[in-house]
Amino acid sequence: MADLELKGLTFGINKKRIIEDVSFKVSEGELFVLCGPSGVGKTTILKLITGELIPDSGDILLNGISLLKVPMRKRGTVLVPQGNDLFPHLTVGKNAAFGLGARHIRGKEAEGVVKTYAEKCGIENLLGRYPSELSGGQQKLAAILRALVVEPSVLLLDEPFTGLDGELSRHMRELVLKLQKENGITIVMITHSKEDALYMGDHIGFLFEGRLEFTAPAADLFEKTGNPMVDGFLGEIVRMENGGYVFADKILKSITAG
């Protein structure tokens, strides 16, 4: 696994700035959440990390070594996109094994690796099914499985819980955290959900209009940060007697709905 650092990352298209001077560091085995409204450049940052996009300036370091001239396939970063991007003509097992072929891991050896990680993800019974035969949550798990089997240095998750109902979303969050802790995976996750950010993140960064406005440990965000944009985005966080939390705007919606 690895330390990841972004230093002064800037990127634009047709003279329009999308990302402006973004810097943050993710320590080995840490889950860093990049949070903010839709359309502010979060996915662009993930694509810059993988090498799908090239920054106009700045640097991306993995264990202190620049990735800017390293091809995508050799970076050790794997992105699970929001749409999952599974091959529809391949079973879950063959989808998962696809990336192993590039590492010359095939046949029984590849099947063994896929089975091991499928058991960790709890979907070993789905390996023979096709994506069209899976629920939305199962498709997301299959996409995460495909990413995990190649044992990336950094796992990148793009809105992994979008479109899932409450109970399934909670299950998925617990599973990702379990996999992260058991395997020491370094993860960068992006989300527009403040609930997912606070539940998942070791550290959280807030992106607004292409600029990283604030970063802090998740535990520090239960009090006002002093940053108007962050405090306005989070709103009031109410601590519960069981040690959990809920956002005040959710309470208000619940009361008015009732």
Residue-level pLDDT at 131: 94
Among 26, 4, 48, 32, smallest CA distance to 210 is for 48
Q: Which of the 8 DSSP states describes residue 126?
A: G
Mean pLDDT of 218-246: 78
Could you tell me where in the chain the CATH 3.40.50.300 domains are found?
1-76+152-218
Among 56, 51, 42, 50, smallest CA distance to 14 is for 56
Does the pLDDT of residue 86 top 70, yes or no? yes
The CATH T-level fold of domain 1-76+152-218 is Rossmann fold (3.40.50)
- Spatial neighbors of 70 by CB under 8 A, at least 6 apart, are 51
Does the pLDDT of residue 172 top 50, yes or no? yes
Total-model pTM = 0.89
The percent of residues in the chain predicted with pLDDT above 90, rounded, is: 55
Tell me the pLDDT tens digit for each residue of 179-204: 888 888 999 999 998 888 988 999 99
